[in-house]
Structure 1
Amino acid sequence: MKVYLNIILYLCLYGFIFRFLPIEEKTKKKLFILFAAFHLIFVQGFRFKSVGGDLYRYEVFYDIVKYFDLNQFINHRFELGFKCVVWVFSNLNLSFQNFLLIISVFTITLFSKTVYEYSKFPLISFVLYLITGMFDFGFSGLRQIISMSLILLSFKYILNKNAFKYNIIVILASLFHKSALIFLLFQIFNIKDIGKIYLKIYPVILICIVILGSNLSRLLTIIFKQDLLTYYSDDFSGFGGTSLVIFSVLLLSAITKIILKESNRILDNLIIITSVSLLFQSLSQYSYLFTRFNLFFYQFIALLVPNLIFYWRSFFSLNNKHIKFIFDIIIFFIFILLSFNFYKLILEGNPHQIIPHIYRWEDFNA
């Protein structure tokens, strides 16, 4: 567990060092993201192939796919894009261990690129990447983490209203995990005033989801993933901690737009995506189907929260450097303290079987 908790401490160290270097802000940001990304890649990419709950079945598939005939290849249950990528690397005789490293480099690099482009505070984004479970999930859910990373690329084309490129990337992402197809629906919010109307009636939608959640989640589970009915529950246990956190972020977003009158395409689209996340989170207590869907949305929360903090920081500081510094220190310590303890609780549950952590050069039987 220590190797994972230490990541937060190292991220803080990198942030502290680069903050006080006498260089341009853009260069500081690039250096921090470079060091943070390398650290995550090192921990995830160089782990032993036993670290991750689903890796055994992925390794079996990796070893045998090169011997499949066309019919076996087509009928295997994994998505076509993932099968093709695995087939290529397997036929190149690349070890499964190195294949895991390539996936880690690919997914964490795409997340880091998105953080650089859209996050006001990269440190907060990287910590959120940990405590929302996305980093841990990347050890196990290979198909979906690739798909999630590709969806991050599509965000640019939502902002630019480039429907063609957006659709291409979403469809490409669905070739690694079909749940990515849900993002095709987000184009509707680019239609004039649809996004504004949606946000106005959002409270009504949320109430309906809560009231009808059990029946709705059962219906959608049957339609999209009937085998997950074994994880289905009729009981409403109330909003859990994750739902409350997302709700708090949305409430802060609403206050930001009303009081600070902040409105831009990045902020507005991140709010819409996060609002959908709460709808899915409300259904996830009934069916595991929605828990898997929601992972796609958590990565956008890692972009929204730093932007909200930035706007409130500007509001309170009034461009005074000393007040800004005090504000940063207070937010930093509160956020890191809460994140450290929350991440520790997640790791103790070990949902993705990443504990104990073992590097590939360590003796597994030691």
Structure 2
Amino acid sequence: MIYIYMTVLATILIAMSDFVASTTTDFALGASYRNVISKSLYGLAFFVIFIPGAIRSYVGIDYTTYSKYQIPAVLEGREVKVESLYRWVIRIGYLIGGKSTYQYIFAITNFLIVFFLFLYIKRLSSNKVLSIIVFMSTGFFFFSLSGMRQSIGVAIALWSLKYIEEKKFIPYVITILLASLFHTAVIIFLVFYFLSDIKINPFVVALVMLAVNRLAPHLRNIIISISDRVGLYSEYFGGTFDTGGYNKIFVVLILLVMLFVCLSRLVLGKEVFYKNNTALNIHYVACMVVAMISYLPTPSRLLFLFIPVYITLIPNLVVQYKNIRVILYLIVISLCIFFMYELLFVQNSYGVLPYNHVS
């Protein structure tokens, strides 16, 4: 139940933060005091999400892998696939812990993920409360307790999307390159800067998905060939995780978002719809993954490069609706409750239950 308590408390604090920031009545506090209180409430919401992840113990399927294999290998100087910046997280966390515990490594990791996610939400979300609900319920939070290096990289990459909005190429490239030093796969986000002015009709994407699905076996061979040449992701093909299995709940999530995106293209019109163009393009890549999902190894981890963009995409589309906005909020929140129940209580996604913490 702790994850539900976290979600409820964080959303209440953020709702209070937004209320204080928007209060302009005569008897209200001065603007500077309102700003301090609003930021303090938002900061409290950050700690509500950060602390449980920081003090967890053997929560998440990769916690044991890191504790028993990857962290000791880095500290002992043995060969292990861990990117350079995360090696520094390991060394610094171990040093802070007096070289007697790994717990500070997990604390720093969770801090980086949640910190950049909160910055991303604050900068790019039109409804921060709904963003937190989407973050906590649609899988990325649970994934972040296992796929830690990837989650840091993705969180930084999402935060850096503001540079696309501001047309700042150099800061964007530098940030993505730094993010890739936590997880190499994040380098794919470089592409989205060059796609930022390309506006793609979602109905065309739907047709392309059908074609990709039919051609998936042939496309797999092409991807393997490219992967072997560039040395990225190649070790997964033909390996232990290349089974053709995948979590259907994420396919449902992406298809539902695609349905909403198509509806929004019809209802909102081009000018409003394409205000979210970069997030839409990231979503379309997730759609392509879904189109050939049974032909890709570890497809869920691959999807979690792109699914987190829903944290802002969904709220930013919902707020554009005028007459049925409240109805859409209720539908989205109801679906989030369903996804959270399915992922947490039915699937125990990424082994986040039972929750244990360090004593």
Give the RMSD, CA atoms, in angstroms.
Answer: 3.1
- Following TM superposition, by how much is the alpha carbon of 1:158 offset from its aligned partner in structure 2, in angstroms? 1.5
- Residues 283/247 of structure 1: CA separation in 2 closer, same or farther (3 Å cut): same
Cα pair 2:60 2:146 within 8 Å, conserved? yes
CA apart distance, 1:24: 3.1
Match of 2:219 among 213, 216, 221: 216
Which residue number in structure 1 is paired with residue 30 of structure 2?
none
CA distance in 2, matches of 1:62, 1:219: 35
Cα distance in 1 for partners of 2:203, 2:257 equals 18
Q: Give the distance between the partners of 2:63 and 2:245, measured in 1 at CA.
A: 32
Pair 1:275-2:274 in alignment: no
Distance 1:106 1:236 in 2: 28
Structure 2 alignment gaps of length 5 or more: 25-33, 228-232
| Aligned counterparts of 1:16 and 1:117: Cα–Cα separation in 2 | 16
Q: Which residue of the partner structure matches residue 80 of structure 1?
A: 84
TM superposition shift of 1:253: 3.5
Distance 1:23 1:205, change over 3 A: closer
CA contact (8 A) 1:115 1:125 kept: yes
Structure 1: tracts of 5 or more residues without a match = 318-326, 362-366
Change (3 A) 1:114 1:234: closer
Deviation at 1:342, TM superposition (A): 2.0
Equivalence for 2:9:
10
Matches of 1:252 and 1:32, distance apart in 2: 35
Q: Is the 8 A contact 1:280 1:291 kept in 2?
A: no
- 1:356 shift after superposition: 0.2
Counterpart Cα distance in 2 of 1:82 and 1:159: 28
Q: Secondary structure at the match of 2:323?
A: helix
Cα distance, 1:307 vs. partner?
1.0
Q: What is residue 296 of structure 1 aligned with on the other side?
A: 305
Alignment of 1:201-212 (within 5 A): 201-212=204-215
Other-structure match for 1:158 = 164
Give runs of ≥4 in structure 1 deviating > 6 Å.
234-239
SS for the counterpart of 1:262 is helix
Give the match for residue 136 of structure 2.
130
How many angstroms does 1:213 deviate by? Answer: 2.1
Matches within 5 A, 1:29-68: 30=39, 33-48=42-57, 50-60=58-68, 61-68=70-77
* Segment drifting more, 232-241 vs 345-354: 232-241
TM-score by length of 1: 0.80
TM-score, structure 2 as length reference: 0.82
Post-superposition Cα deviations, 1:56-76, rounded to whole Å, max 9, x if no partner, equal 2212333453332xxx4xx42
**Match of residue 230 from structure 2:** none
The corresponding residue for 1:324 is none
The separation in 1 between residues aligned to 2:203 and 2:220, in whole angstroms, is: 24
Does the CA-based 8 Å contact 1:221-1:287 persist in structure 2? no
- 1:313-352 matched pairs, under 5 angstroms: 315-316=322-323, 328=326, 330-347=327-344, 348-352=346-350
Contact map agreement 1:47 1:358 (CA 8 A) in 2: yes
